[in-house]
């Protein structure tokens, strides 16, 4: 009897274990997730591309993908078994990123639903994913029945209180009648200028500064909103506020635009019957400029008069008989209307006031504790017709008053005129400021100011942050924070140089040095791809690239700046795995290097350059801002760099003839460069011997191995002359870390990074910086504000050091495009005892966290599914390596590649690991 019970128990246990194993196996083979299309869009409305690419992630626990199947349909009920648009079948590949659509041709406004499943490395099949979708916007100019409209006689006027010309804000409206029950409704809208749309008294969307800034003479981006719930059968009303924005406002180089803002509106309502009713902007609309927002300028601020409020102006029962008829405006058919290629600007963070002071009577300064870009929301007591004045600053003067000299001609002041006594809450709509401090005056003086009166609304393009970094060193952590806030302050629809002064332009040199760092910090793939479209749009007929994009300069071109044409596509591709940006940009890359050829003789480039901008201690004979590196050397170095990146692009795209051509060009340029600019002993032969001259030669691989070996001591001598401080500007600084590591001297880089004195990264932190600065010494406690100008306190270029912090200090670096293969090789140095980083790669989260305790190096690693990693662990390899608490033994997950006297090099499959080694 006992034996029978034991046998029964045995079979029960076997069954239970089988069920448990089945459940565990089922868990491992859950469906793919995080389904996206294009450059990272999740269920987008108004997508720009009718031939999208699909991407997905594999669930944690899966090693790799061996095959996938993808289906797409016009309605979700057809999935997954009866797709009417596309059925890929089983495709045997590990590819889970950027799978090109190959189904039925899609049309403007079409909605597509899709699912995907995969087979793992053992051939096990997953569940189908949840259903994702995308809906196309209006893809063609011919899809638009609407007309561009504007008030006919509206012109920019001189505003006495700011001394500038600004366009009054237009209020435009139209009543419409919805005849039947609504199935869905889409508002397609754009502007030459900035718009805010309203339906039946409610604001449409939470975006700001829409539609954004593009090269308007070539391309205008459009927005799509789902407004189904905002409409009702019967009478409805459309209302638009229209401001000058970048199109019609005052901008650096261009000055006043001498043109009026315009708007284009198309509302498409689908009834439950299937019929579609279309309502458009045309001459039947009416408008006025006598509304509460009197004017709004990007540089100069916004003025609001509550006495002119028009209750219900955007509702159907409003009497607009006194309003003016609008005019239809002609816009060239050559201007392409296209759905917006990245997410609009929105309010991302709110910052409370940290402290309040009164440096002069009646003028109170609210300190937010953080330099930022966006607007201030005020919640204050006011008196009827007593104007409230709101000014902004990044810094304070010694007497506690705000410092605005660095804003130059940007007035950057908001006004609010109350209509009655009491509390008001207000924020501007069509401007933005760069600031940490808000000066408030004109409120009800009987009240005592409170910190709750002012809140900072941080605004930038609506992407998520993707990477993290922290360490055992407080100032290094502050540097990371400053880099992040430099990005937030300057990724406002385009990558700007600064958010505060009369500039705020898409400077190409700043962008190209910062892109690797930015793509780790933020999910900015779509952001860069969209701006790169504007770079392509603005390339001139001779192949040159403007110094700012969109091009409001129209004339200048500079080496190191124009190279954005090759650097942005390559860096975006390498860090995301998206070949599309290379395909889209390749002809632009060739155009740029052909421009270099046109201004070169015997491969030596003679052209204008901004040089190693803002190199410290520069003794340039005519413009100290340009640095001291020989201009032809710098030009030719970047010429070679762009040819090299174009060559690598041609190899990726399989353009064999171009590969041969570009290899030949590159070889000839390198030979000419070495012969022209270096002596036989490895020293610079032209111009002044600078750190940057050697950094470019070595960092861009422009010297033969023998000559590079001779040049290294000269670079080290230049660094030693500066007491191991940097002497580099915008172009040289990003090369310091990779070159010093390349030549085996990361110890010098660590010393340089942790320097406290000028010039160094920590120097600005010691002066109170909360963002990256334009100059290494824009301000000091001892000397005050730099007298040389160019004192932006929110300028991300020197944040390029972030790349080395993430890739080498924390140790996370892509080896293959898109992080398909990853190197995790943390580098110890300086005073650090620990560092960690994580990054949400296209495949999932990778992380590296190390610390040193009692001579033991501890490393925690996460490798995402469908990737592999090479992990390098510093160690005394005479001692054992520990993995997850036991002596390391090779297994299917972790294999030893090699062992040296300084560490272990391992090949690691997806998963979580804890390593320990003795140093």
Q: How many angstroms separate the CA atoms of 655 and 641, rounded? A: 19
Strands (DSSP E) contained in 628-780 are 779-780
CB 589 within 8 A of CB 569: yes
Please, which residues bridge with residue 87 across strands? Answer: 71
* 272 C-beta neighbours (distance < 10 Å), count: 10
Tokens of 652: 């990726």
631 counts as catalytic: no
Q: How many angstroms separate the CA atoms of 196 and 172, rounded? A: 10
**Residue with the two structure tokens 């004339």:** 555
HEC string for 651-668 = HHHCCHHHHHHHHHHHHH
Phi, then psi, of 195 in degrees rounded to 5: -130, 155
Please, which residues bridge with residue 699 across strands? Answer: none
Q: Which one from 135, 154, 221, 503 is the annotated catalytic residue?
A: 503
Tokens of 666: 């590159």
Tallying the residues shown for the chain, one arrives at 919
Tokens of 740: 């010093």
- Whether residue 211 is preceded by a cis peptide bond, meaning omega within 30 degrees of 0, is yes
In the DSSP assignment, the letter for residue 410 is -
* 98 C-beta neighbours (distance < 10 Å), count: 20
Chain centroid to CA 502: 22
Strands (DSSP E) contained in 299-421 are 301-305, 324-325, 327-329, 336-339, 345-352, 355-360, 363-382, 388-393, 395-396, 402-403, 413-417
Q: How many angstroms separate the CA atoms of 541 and 194, rounded? A: 30
Q: If we measure between CA atoms, which residue out of 185, 184, 176, 187 comes closest to residue 210?
A: 187
Tokens of 388: 């409230």
Q: Which one from 579, 774, 807, 836 is the annotated catalytic residue?
A: 774
774 counts as catalytic: yes
Handedness of CA 680, 681, 686, 691 (dihedral sign): positive
Q: How many angstroms separate the CA atoms of 560 and 567, rounded? A: 10
Q: What is the largest CA-CA distance in the chain?
A: 105
CB 628 within 8 A of CB 688: yes
Q: How many angstroms separate the CA atoms of 862 and 844, rounded? A: 10
CB 303 within 8 A of CB 293: yes
- What are the C-alpha distances in Å from 494 to residues 455, 579, 657, 863? 24, 22, 35, 32
Residues with catalytic function = 503, 774
């Amino acid at each position: 009897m006992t034996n029978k019970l034991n046998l029964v128990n045995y079979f029960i246990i076997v069954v239970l274990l089988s069920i448990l194993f089945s459940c565990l196996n089922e868990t491992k083979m859950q469906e793919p997730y995080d389904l996206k299309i294009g450059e990272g869009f999740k269920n987008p409305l108004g997508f720009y591309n009718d031939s999208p690419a699909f991407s997905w992630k594999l669930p944690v626990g899966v090693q790799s993908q061996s095959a996938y199947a993808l289906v797409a349909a016009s309605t979700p009920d057809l999935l997954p078994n009866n797709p009417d648009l596309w059925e890929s079948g089983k495709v045997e590949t590990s590819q889970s990123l950027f799978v090109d659509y190959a189904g039925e041709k899609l049309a403007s406004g079409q909605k597509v639903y899709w699912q995907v499943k995969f087979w793992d490395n053992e051939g096990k099949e997953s569940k189908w994913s949840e259903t994702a979708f995308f809906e196309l916007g209006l893809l063609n100019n011919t899809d638009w029945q609407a007309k561009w409209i504007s008030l006919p006689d509206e012109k920019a006027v001189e505003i006495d209180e700011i001394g500038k010309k600004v366009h009054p804000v237009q209020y435009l409206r139209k009543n419409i009648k919805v005849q039947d029950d609504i199935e869905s409704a889409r508002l397609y809208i754009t502007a030459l200028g900035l718009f805010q749309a309203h339906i039946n008294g409610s604001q449409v969307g939470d975006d700001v500064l829409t539609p954004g800034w593009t090269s308007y003479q070539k391309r205008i981006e459009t927005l799509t909103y789902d407004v189904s719930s905002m409409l009702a059968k019967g009478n409805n009303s459309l209302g638009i506020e229209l401001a000058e924005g970048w199109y019609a406002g005052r901008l650096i180089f261009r000055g006043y635009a001498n043109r009026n803002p315009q708007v284009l509106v198309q509302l498409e309502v689908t009834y439950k019957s299937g019929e579609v009713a279309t309502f458009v902007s045309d001459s039947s609309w009416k408008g006025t400029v006598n509304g509460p927002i009197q004017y709004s300028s990007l540089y100069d601020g916004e003025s609001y008069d509550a006495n002119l409020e028009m209750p219900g102006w955007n509702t159907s029962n409003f009497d607009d008989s006194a309003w003016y008829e609008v005019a239809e405006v002609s816009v060239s058919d050559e201007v392409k209307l296209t759905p917006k290629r990245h997410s609009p600007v929105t309010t991302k963070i709110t910052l409370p006031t940290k402290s309040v002071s009164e440096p002069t009577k009646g003028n109170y300064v609210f300190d937010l504790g953080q330099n930022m870009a966006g607007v201030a929301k005020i919640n204050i007591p006011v008196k009827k017709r007593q104007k409230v004045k709101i000014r902004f600053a990044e810094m304070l003067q010694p007497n506690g008053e705000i410092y605005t000299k660095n804003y130059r001609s940007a007035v950057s002041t908001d006004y609010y005129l109350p209509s009655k006594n009491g509390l008001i809450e207000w924020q501007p709509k069509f401007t933005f400021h760069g600031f940490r401090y808000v000066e408030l005056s004109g409120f009800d003086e009987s009240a005592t100011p409170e910190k709750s009166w002012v809140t900072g609304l941080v605004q930038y393009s609506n992407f998520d942050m993707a990477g993290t970094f922290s360490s055992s060193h407080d100032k290094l952590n502050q540097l990371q924070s400053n880099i992040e806030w430099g990005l937030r302050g300057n990724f406002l629809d385009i990558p700007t140089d600064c958010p505060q002064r009369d500039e705020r332009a898409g400077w190409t040199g700043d962008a190209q040095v910062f892109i690797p760092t930015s793509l780790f910090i933020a999910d900015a793939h779509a952001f860069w791809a969209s701006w790169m479209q504007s770079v392509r749009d603005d390339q001139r007929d001779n192949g040159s690239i403007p110094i700012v994009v969109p091009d409001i300069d129209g004339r200048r071109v500079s080496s190191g700046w124009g190279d954005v044409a090759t650097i942005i596509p390559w860096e975006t591709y390498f860090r995301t795995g998206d070949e599309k940006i290379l395909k889209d940009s390749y002809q632009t890359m060739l155009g740029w290097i052909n421009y270099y050829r046109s201004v070169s003789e015997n491969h030596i480039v003679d052209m204008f350059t901004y040089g190693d901008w803002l190199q410290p201690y520069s003794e340039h004979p005519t413009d100290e801002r340009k640095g001291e590196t020989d201009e032809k050397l710098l030009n030719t170095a970047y010429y070679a760099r762009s040819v090299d990146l174009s060559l690598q692009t041609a190899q990726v795209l399989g353009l064999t003839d171009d590969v041969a051509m570009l290899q030949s060009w590159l070889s000839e340029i390198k030979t000419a460069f070495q012969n022209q600019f270096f002596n036989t002993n490895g020293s610079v032969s032209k111009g002044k011997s600078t750190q940057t001259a050697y950094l470019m030669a070595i960092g861009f691989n422009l010297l033969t191995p023998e000559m590079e070996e001779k040049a290294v001591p000269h670079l080290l001598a230049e660094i030693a002359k500066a007491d191991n401080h940097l002497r580099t500007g915008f172009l040289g600084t990003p090369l310091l870390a990779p070159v010093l590591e390349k030549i085996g001297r990361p110890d010098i880089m660590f010393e340089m990074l942790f320097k406290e004195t000028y010039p160094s990264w920590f120097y600005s932190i010691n002066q109170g910086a909360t963002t990256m600065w334009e100059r290494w010494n824009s301000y000091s406690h001892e000397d005050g504000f730099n007298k040389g100008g160019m004192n932006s306190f929110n300028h991300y270029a020197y944040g390029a050091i972030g790349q080395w912090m993430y890739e080498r200090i924390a140790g996370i670096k892509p080896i293959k495009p898109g992080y398909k293969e990853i190197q995790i090789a943390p580098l110890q140095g300086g005073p650090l005892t620990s560092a960690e980083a994580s990054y949400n790669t296209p495949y999932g989260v990778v992380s590296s966290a190390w610390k040193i305790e009692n001579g033991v190096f501890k490393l925690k690693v996460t490798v995402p599914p469908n990737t592999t990693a090479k992990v390098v662990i510093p160690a005394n390899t005479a001692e054992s390596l520990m993995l997850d608490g036991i002596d390391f033994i090779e297994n299917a997950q972790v294999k030893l590649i090699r062992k040296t006297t300084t560490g272990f090099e391992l090949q690691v499959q997806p998963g979580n690991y804890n390593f320990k080694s003795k140093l």
